[in-house]
């Protein structure tokens, strides 16, 4: 790898591969390399906690591109290597095998790593995270002989894996430290609905509960002990309590950092000719009144990857993308458009017992986000309302006979309004 690249991309996930593929689509003819710490070809991560865990798709079906794509498009894909150091002054990186690689531009797209629990028994076998292909392969091997599984964390990963494991006939208990599941990402009506759905499917829920230790027989986990003293039987355990940005080498090189590498609206870091995209970044969001947020979503990584590719290939800037998220659990699809950060009101639209409804989030009377459960039209129409900062007739939100966009009272345009973070020193 002792060579020079016009664009050197650290990370082969959704953000990094989007930069490379979009550059070629935009006609960029410079040299491109992706240094990917995983030995696998780039793959889609969302199926890991769903169809891939369930065993209904294989690796080939979740590949981002066919294996031949990278060489066919002049993209050097270096698998099983990691960038350990960045020298912005001399414009080179050092990989974990000691190779020095020069660059004109670096795009940091290394994502994040799962948080660990600082408690006794964490080193027992049978305790898993769901982040990579190899993580889920190990989990699937353990599940072959497991009957009871404890899941620590009631966020998207925890609930998605709970739904799959119930389909596989496992006894499942979800332990959540907050008073409700999905507490970080949704309002009470969404949490209440999903708690009821999981209980109907046989999932045991322990909210307001924290893990104090993992207990084992020999070196393998056997139970999860909670603060109240209860021991949850577990032949296997899954921990999904958030992630930590993977940004060590950039921070060591001097990049500004605050719960993520700080980037501006064009994904530029404080280091010259170094960009960052995806879960490892924090940036000001026009749809959250300029608050600096770290968005953990595939869509954000792809949107940021496209932003960088447009800039490096000389294409005009696009309007800021409206953040979106999704989660599949059982036969339910939860889709979110916008960011509910700092909302004042959360209004239910439709009847949750119908298993098709939405929650509209408002701040100072304008729509900032919509959660839709099996309500695709509300999701689609909500995008335009969030983008235009629309004010709607709140008293009519619950009337599903009227489309959301029919409720608009006033829709001031964002007029390309930008907010910026001082990524410079």
pLDDT tens, position by position, for the chain (425 residues)? 568 999 999 999 999 999 999 999 999 999 999 999 999 999 999 999 999 999 999 999 999 999 999 999 999 999 999 999 999 999 999 999 999 999 999 999 999 999 999 999 999 999 999 999 999 999 999 999 999 999 999 999 999 999 999 999 999 999 999 999 999 999 999 999 999 999 999 999 999 999 999 999 889 999 999 999 999 999 999 999 999 999 999 999 999 999 999 999 999 999 999 999 999 999 999 999 899 999 999 999 999 999 999 999 999 988 889 999 999 999 999 999 999 989 999 999 999 999 999 999 999 999 999 999 999 999 999 999 999 999 999 999 989 999 998 888 887 765 444 434 444 33
Specify if 323 maps to a domain. Answer: no
Specify if 8 maps to a domain. Answer: yes
> CB within 8 A of 265, min separation 6: which ones?
283, 284, 307, 320, 418, 419, 420
**256, 285, 312: which is the final residue of a domain?**
312
What residues make up the domain containing 280? 4-113+244-312
Specify if 205 maps to a domain. Answer: yes
**281, 312, 343: which is the final residue of a domain?**
312
Specify if 422 maps to a domain. Answer: no
Do 124 and 266 lie in one domain? The reply is no
pLDDT of residue 171: 98
Token pair, residue 364, equals 């100072």
Specify if 322 maps to a domain. Answer: no
Do 335 and 372 lie in one domain? The reply is yes
Specify if 424 maps to a domain. Answer: no
CATH number of the domain at 394, please.
Answer: 3.30.390.30
Tally of domains in the chain:
3
Do 220 and 257 lie in one domain? The reply is no
pLDDT of residue 418: 44
**178, 210, 241: which is the final residue of a domain?**
241
> Which of 57, 13, 11 lies closest to 249 in space, CA to CA?
11
3-state SS string for 167-188 = HCCCEEEEECCCCCCCCCCCCH
pLDDT of residue 419: 39
Strand ranges inside 204-351, DSSP E: 204-206, 211-217, 220-226, 231-233, 236-239, 243-245, 261-262, 274-276, 281-284, 292-293, 324-329, 332-338, 345-349
The pTM (predicted TM-score) of the whole model is 0.94
Contact 163, 172 (CB under 8 A): no
Do 17 and 71 lie in one domain? The reply is yes
Do 335 and 367 lie in one domain? The reply is yes
Do 10 and 89 lie in one domain? The reply is yes
Strand ranges inside 120-277, DSSP E: 127-128, 148-152, 171-175, 204-206, 211-217, 220-226, 231-233, 236-239, 243-245, 261-262, 274-276
Spell out a b/e string for 239-277, using b for 16 or more CB atoms within 10 Å of the CB, else e.
bbbebebbbbbbeebebbbeebbbbbbbbbbbbeebbbb
pLDDT of residue 241: 96
Contact 47, 331 (CB under 8 A): no
| Residue 260, Ramachandran bin (φ over 0: left; ψ between -120 and 50: alpha; else beta) | left
- For residue 176, give Cα distances in angstroms to 108, 125, 191, 207, 239: 32, 22, 12, 5, 11
Do 348 and 405 lie in one domain? The reply is yes
Contact 192, 177 (CB under 8 A): no
């Amino acid at each position: 790898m002792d060579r020079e690249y016009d664009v050197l991309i650290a990370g082969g996930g959704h953000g990094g591969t989007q930069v490379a593929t979009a550059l070629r689509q935009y006609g960029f003819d410079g040299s491109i390399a992706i240094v990917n710490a995983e030995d696998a070809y780039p793959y889609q991560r969302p199926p890991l906690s769903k169809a891939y865990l369930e065993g209904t798709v294989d690796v080939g079906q979740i590949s981002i591109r066919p294996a031949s794509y990278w060489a066919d498009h002049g993209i050097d894909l270096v698998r099983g290597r990691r960038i350990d150091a960045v020298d912005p002054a001399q414009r080179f990186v050092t990989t974990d095998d000691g190779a020095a690689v020069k660059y004109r531009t670096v795009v940091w797209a290394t994502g994040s790593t799962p948080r660990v629990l600082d408690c006794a028994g964490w080193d027992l076998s049978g305790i898993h995270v769901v982040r990579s292909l190899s993580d889920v392969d190990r989990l699937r091997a353990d599940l072959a002989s497991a009957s009871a599984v404890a899941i620590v964390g009631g966020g998207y990963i925890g609930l998605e894996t709970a739904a799959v494991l119930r389909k596989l006939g496992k006894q499942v208990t979800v332990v959540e430290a907050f008073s409700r599941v999905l507490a970080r990402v949704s309002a009470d009506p969404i949490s209440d609905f999903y708690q009821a759905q999981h209980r109907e499917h046989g999932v045991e829920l322990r909210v307001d509960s924290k893990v104090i230790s993992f207990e084992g027989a020999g070196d393998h986990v056997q139970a999860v002990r909670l603060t109240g003293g209860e021991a949850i039987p577990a032949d296997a355990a899954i921990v999904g309590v958030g992630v930590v940005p993977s940004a060590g080498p950039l921070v060591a090189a001097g990049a500004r950092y605050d719960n993520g590498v700080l980037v501006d609206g064009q994904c530029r870091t404080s280091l010259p000719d170094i960009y960052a995209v995806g879960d490892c970044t924090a940036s000001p969001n026009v749809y959250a009144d300029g608050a600096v947020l770290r968005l953990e979503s595939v869509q954000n990584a792809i949107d940021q990857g496209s932003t960088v590719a447009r800039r490096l290939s000389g294409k005009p800037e696009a309007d800021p993308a409206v953040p979106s998220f999704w989660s599949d659990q059982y036969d339910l699809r939860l889709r979110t458009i916008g960011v509910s950060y700092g909302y004042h009101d959360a209004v239910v639209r439709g009847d949750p017992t119908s298993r098709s409804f939405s929650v509209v989030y408002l701040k100072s009377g304008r729509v900032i986000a919509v959660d839709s459960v099996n309500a695709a039209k509300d999701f689609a129409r909500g995008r335009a309302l969030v983008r235009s900062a629309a004010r709607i007739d709140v008293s009519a939100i619950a009337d599903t006979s009227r489309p959301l966009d029919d409720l608009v009272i006033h829709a001031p345009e964002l007029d390309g309004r930008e907010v910026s973070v001082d990524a410079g020193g």
